[in-house]
Amino acid sequence: MPQFASYPSLTGRPVVISGGALGIGESLVRNFAAQGAKVGFVDIAAEAGETLADELAAAGATVRFIRCDVTDTQAYKAAIDGFAAAHGDALALVNNAAHDQRHDWDEVTPGYWDDRMAVNLKHAFFAIQAVAPGMARAGKGSIINFGSISWMIMSPKIPVYETAKAATHGLTRAMARELGKSGIRVNTLAPGWVMTQRQLTHWVDADAERLIDEAQALAGRVQPDDCARMALFLASDDSAMISAQQFIVDGGWANG
């Protein structure tokens, strides 16, 4: 069986994760909880979020869930404040929430554009705004923005999503400069085609399997835990001098 790293610096560290109830987010919550972090997570999937939090709490983890739509900026800020009251100011923020809804470019309306930017980009900025003062007081912190290889490999049918995900690394670079002197690191984690239940249900068919086999340098499939393990490293003190960078977890597909 493979053996994976343990990060002592994550023990007791307050962590906020968006979109934590399902998919990659669920793996993030489980992995940070297993490291002994104090995990606060939000999602619109209330039942899944509550079930996950109850399971981990019953096993002795410090986990708190708040049902929240991250596109509601005030509600999300209130949730982050609630986590801070329960666990202490966040010293790691994982901006994971996103939605890769398929769409045709010539049918995009201004309202749809704004909605997709809200769910895929805007919330990350305002979450950073909410946690940065506490990190600055502590003199340290790690912010991890989830990007995507979709814009690098020019995936079809998701142009607004790809625009938001390309902009995510711009946000990373900008905020790494803004916050670095306060001891706050900001990095992008860009997954490849990750085998979440959503992907398996909607899009991973025989043609997709052939594409992945041809495109990835590595055999096998990228799993949610592969992304979570990179996030653990970036949130830990082991990555203390790493900021403004993009880390691609895609089995060797994109040229980022």
Contact 213, 37 (CB under 8 A): no
Distance between CA atoms of residues 4 and 2, nearest Å: 7
Q: What's the residue count for the chain?
A: 256
Beta strands in the chain (DSSP E): 14-18, 38-43, 62-67, 92-95, 141-146, 184-191, 246-249
**Spatial CA neighbour of 179 closest among 232, 233, 141:** 141
Residues 6+ apart with CB under 8 A from 228: 24, 27, 28, 30, 31, 32
Contact 192, 149 (CB under 8 A): yes
Active site residues: 161
Q: Which helix (H) or strand (E) holds 71?
A: none
Residue type, 38: K
Distance between CA atoms of residues 223 and 27, nearest Å: 9
